[in-house]
Amino acid sequence: RIGFREDVIGIIIGRLRSDDIYNQKKAYTELEHQTAAYATQAAMLYVLLYFYPDVLHNKQAIMREIVDKHFADN
């Protein structure tokens, strides 16, 4: 197995949290469709958070932001 550097994973998570990397928000203008616009990013965040458990366990504000933005309809 190979190890992942947590600082690199943290940078990627930060980018996925803050930006619309696929520019999907233009295609999904309604607020209720926001989750569909960010679905691909949400899937990547879901996987990456397993490799950075500190966010899952100790960073409630970051997790709240991720959930509110990417999983609002759940």
Whole-number pLDDT of residue 25: 67
Q: Is residue 1 part of a domain?
A: no
Domain limits for position 40? 6-70
Q: Is residue 18 part of a domain?
A: yes
**Cα distance between residue 51 and residue 5, in whole Å:** 9
Q: Per-residue confidence at 68, pLDDT binned at 50, 70, 90?
A: confident
Question: Distance of alpha carbon 12 from its chain centroid, rounded?
Answer: 9
How many domains does one find in the chain? 1
Whole-number pLDDT of residue 60: 95
Q: Is residue 45 part of a domain?
A: yes
**Cα distance between residue 20 and residue 8, in whole Å:** 19
Q: Is residue 31 part of a domain?
A: yes
pTM over 0.85: no
**Cα distance between residue 74 and residue 47, in whole Å:** 18
pLDDT by residue (tens digit) across 17-43?
Answer: 888 776 666 777 676 777 777 888 899
Q: Is residue 44 part of a domain?
A: yes
pLDDT by residue (tens digit) across 39-59?
Answer: 888 999 999 999 999 999 999
